[in-house]
Amino acid sequence: MALLLSNTHIVHRESSSHNRDQEWSSSGCSSLSVVGYTSNSSFWSVNKQRSSTRYSLKAGSFFQDFGRPVVVEMEPIMGVEQLDQILVEAQDVSQPIIIDWMANWCRKCIYLKPKLEKLAGEYWGRIKFYYVDVNNVPQALVKRGNVSKMPTIQVWKDGEMKEEVIGGHKAWLVIDEVREMIQKHI
């Protein structure tokens, strides 16, 4: 059985030979034979025969947790009744929700949405993420959210808005602020 390493940065070399002066590079693609499987599921114990020198290698890789998604698409809220229903459901399970108030014409809103969906993947199962396009919903819903600037990201818990971040600055700063806001209300 052979193990083909495409990323040589994850290889850790341990020399187990009597000739320690001999060096070899793991750059490029190397075919390695697998000699055993260690107790840690993400590491393999491997060796390579080179001339009379024997090397032992451990190749480690870090796999995603496929039990949860990386990105979760935010669900739209289209009316006041739907918002009320979402808030009641969240209150029943005592779970906060995130609402991104945005507009299709707002560049920062469009740029921020995929980053929030990635953040939703991090908190999958603990918090639900929603968005409201303020141009496509009744004005009563926008007034209910008390929104005047876009993008505005709010945490709602127990049927009321607890905290908000107005995202007019760099996206990574907004995401950090939203993450801090979430940690306060989980």
Instruction: Examine the fold and report which residue of 27, 60, 93 is the final residue of a domain before the chain moves on.
Output: 60
**Structural domain includes residue 156:** yes
User: Which residues, in sequence order, are CB contacts of 99 under 8 Å at separation 6+?
Assistant: 77, 130, 131, 132, 145, 153, 154, 156
* Sign of the torsion angle spanned by Cα atoms 89, 156, 182, 107: positive
DSSP one-letter code for 28: S
**Does 40 or 91 have the greater pLDDT score?**
91
Q: pTM score, two decimals?
A: 0.65
One-letter amino acid of 167: G
DSSP one-letter code for 135: T
- The answer on 156 and 79 residing in a single domain is yes
Q: What are the catalytic residues?
A: 106, 109
Query: Closest by alpha carbon to 144, among 183, 72, 86, 74?
Result: 86
pLDDT, tens digit, 9 for 90 and up, residues 42-89: 444 444 455 555 655 555 555 556 677 889 999 999 999 999 999 999
**Structural domain includes residue 105:** yes
